[in-house]
Amino acid sequence: MEDKIALLHDMVAQSDNIVFFGGAGVSTESGIPDFRSVDGLYNQKWKYPPETILSRSFFDRNPEEYYRFHREKLVIDDVKPNRVHLRLAELEREGKLRAVITQNIDGLHQAAGSKNVLELHGSILRAYCSRCRKPYPADVINKGTGVPRCDCGGVIRPDIVLYEEQLDEVVLRKSIDYIRNADVLIVGGTSLAVYPAAGLLNYYRGSKLVLINRSATPYDDQANLIIHEKIGEVFAQV
């Protein structure tokens, strides 16, 4: 473990073209649970699995149940950036980190001070009318009740990518460019099981692919450095 941390430390020290690609594990230390986690209590409250409720077809068909789930499971109050978010922001200020590409929707990278954050799945901190596209503060949804409506009569929805929806083309293209041109690509806190986001790793052309995740991923055999530890503990030493 110490040898791997030392190797990662050297990679970071010697590069000014690092890109970070992160998932749900990055925010775990901030107290944000994985919304996909299902325990015994879950089935007492919800008739459908999370992936079903968070799909576009379910949202259109049953918005009341979607918003009940959204407010209870996705909105977490008083969360703060953790040592991973803070260290990444620091690396950006030092001119070493070019971009953070995240699958998370919590806005914690920006709260930590990161400027160049590409949100593949959008942000729970933004909202807009699904009919006229008028932007709204997220609290219209997060602090409200029932199905929020715009003045035009359209449903106000969170600015997140639901299952069955396409990723934003501009964000996707920028992410590909950063990954393709990166010297060091650090991937952390993700099982790399959600596509098309996970497929972005295929665009990396360098020789310093670092995977930090507690469990194995489908990309382990392509990595130059694998660290199966909590990402917070790793970043505390980098």
Positions annotated as catalytic residues are 121
Backbone angles phi, psi at 102, to 5 degrees: -125, 145
**Dihedral angle computed from the Cα positions of residues 219, 199, 214 and 79, in that order, rounded to the nearest 10 degrees:** 160
Half-sphere exposure for 165 (CA within 13 Å, toward CB) = 20
The rounded distance, in Å, linking the Cα atoms of 88 and 183 is 16
Half-sphere exposure for 24 (CA within 13 Å, toward CB) = 12
* Contact assessment for residue 213 and residue 16, using Cβ atoms and an 8 Å cutoff: no
In terms of Cα–Cα distance, which of 22, 4, 25, 16 is closest to 91?
Answer: 16
